[in-house]
Amino acid sequence: KLPRAREIEGAGVLHGPVRAGTQFRALLTSPCIARSELSGQVDPAALPAQLEARLGKRARVTRRRWDFALVGGFNRHWGLELPQALAVSAGSVLVLEATEDIPHEALLVAEREGVGERRVEGFGRVCFRDAPTEAPTLRNHDDDAKPVARSATTCSVSSSRTCSTRR
């Protein structure tokens, strides 16, 4: 069985091993259905642990920017709809930090096999990208000529979308 080609190409795509201590991103290219190991129920919050396990516990999720959606399906053999499940939406990003060196082949296997459930149906597709390179600062647009003195709100628009208020 020939391995299929990578789903992503271009600038920012990881093309080599990841060294320990390096940050990188996992981008979901399709919705991902994750299941909790403790309860056995569909639980999108279980995705970070499943992604870490897929990489052999050689990385940990440090930040995430995700959204959720209901997904369904249809069983042609039975002629019935499949139960809907809450999934992590395509386009969601998880920032990981390598705790030890990760060979490029391990990343390719994770991209090829995916993560979560119903991968045969196309769910759980993932690709790996370089770490975010910019963290732009957003300012209040009340007055572009001078910075806001009352309380400036700074937002990091990297993968985590964290905001803090300075007084």
Closest residue by Cα to residue 109 from 58, 54, 30? 54
CA distance 137 to 140: 10
Highest mean pLDDT among 12-16, 71-75, 114-118, 142-146: 114-118
Q: Hunting for tokens 């939406």 — which residue is that?
A: 89
From residue 153, how far is each of 61, 66, 146 by CA, in Å?
26, 22, 14
Tell me the whole-structure pTM to 2 decimals. Answer: 0.74
Per-residue pLDDT of 24-63, as tens digits, reads: 999 999 999 999 999 999 999 999 999 999 999 999 999 9
Q: Supply the pLDDT for residue 14.
A: 87
Per-residue pLDDT of 7-24, as tens digits, reads: 777 788 888 999 999 999
Per-residue pLDDT of 120-144, as tens digits, reads: 999 999 999 998 776 556 566 565 5
Q: Supply the pLDDT for residue 132.
A: 76
Q: How confident is the model over 151-164, as a mean pLDDT?
A: 40
Q: Supply the pLDDT for residue 76.
A: 85
Q: Supply the pLDDT for residue 159.
A: 39
The letter for the amino acid at 125 is R
pLDDT greater than 50 at residue 77: yes
Q: Supply the pLDDT for residue 153.
A: 39
pLDDT greater than 50 at residue 157: no
Q: Supply the pLDDT for residue 21.
A: 95
Per-residue pLDDT of 80-98, as tens digits, reads: 998 899 999 999 999 999 9
